[in-house]
Amino acid sequence: MNLTTLETTIGYSFKDKALLKEALTHRSYLNENPSWGVPHNERLEFLGDAVLELVVTEELYARFPDEDEGKLTALRAALVNYQFMAKAGTDAGIGAAVLLSRGEARDTGRARDVIVANAIEAVLGAIYLDSGYAECRKVINAVVMNGLHEIMKSGAYRDPKSALQEATQAKRKLTPTYRVMKEDGPEHKKLFKVAVYFENEFIAEGTGYSKQDAETEAAKAALEKIGDMGHTR
């Protein structure tokens, strides 16, 4: 693990390098390396999550003085959800630096995204302890808030199920329905496949580790497929 490269990427150099090591240490790594010397990152993640939410809230409040609470809440949710944070953590090099057991290192998809999202929050918590709020805010602006333009441009802050329902009601006077098509895997890690229908017309499907996630992915796929209802009859 090259801590110096990671520090350069995130734009912050730690005074206490042990804090960064702790932030990058997943619980599973300690099972195989009990003498590692620092604890796992869950306490730092807890702290970093709170700092992240406050900074993002302050930034949105300052940047959008004319937007109401509902729009600001939707934007914040898009910025701090695990998918966006996982992408931010991967882009910043945290995904490659996080320390995992051999089994966890083989995980992909949602499970890996959650680990990376948690790790970036832990890094933010470590920065807060190392230098305080102002430095943490600088890193959040550089690593997280820089994705705001793309979120605004793509409309990713809009809830896909709500967006699909609004479109179908406006153009076809109906409400989309969701049906669970398949469930795979053990109870603790079950994968759901859900299809979205307009009455009895199949439109698209999505998968996720909960029914809600699968419905959201199905709605996203439906919006992409039909161009936000632009090409439906």
Residue-range domain boundaries for the chain: 3-154, 160-226
**Per-residue pLDDT tens over the stretch 65-117:** 999 998 898 899 889 988 899 999 999 999 999 999 988 888 777 788 989 99
Q: Which one of the listed residues 104, 121, 130, 217 is annotated catalytic?
A: 121
**Per-residue pLDDT tens over the stretch 46-69:** 999 999 999 999 999 999 999 999
Residue 121 annotated as catalytic: yes
Q: Is the pLDDT of residue 209 over 50?
A: yes
Residue 49 annotated as catalytic: yes
Q: Is the pLDDT of residue 39 over 90?
A: yes
Provide φ and ψ at 51, rounded to 5°: -65, -45
Q: Which one of the listed residues 22, 45, 49, 217 is annotated catalytic?
A: 49
CATH 3.30.160.20 fits 160-226, yes or no: yes
User: Of 10-14, 140-144, 165-169, where does mean pLDDT reach its minimum?
Assistant: 165-169
Q: Are 143 and 120 in contact (CB under 8 A)?
A: yes
Predicted local confidence at residue 226, as pLDDT: 73
Segment 163-189 shows an average pLDDT of 86
The mean pLDDT of the chain is: 90
Q: Do domains 3-154 and 160-226 have the same CATH topology?
A: no
CATH 3.10.350.10 fits 3-154, yes or no: no
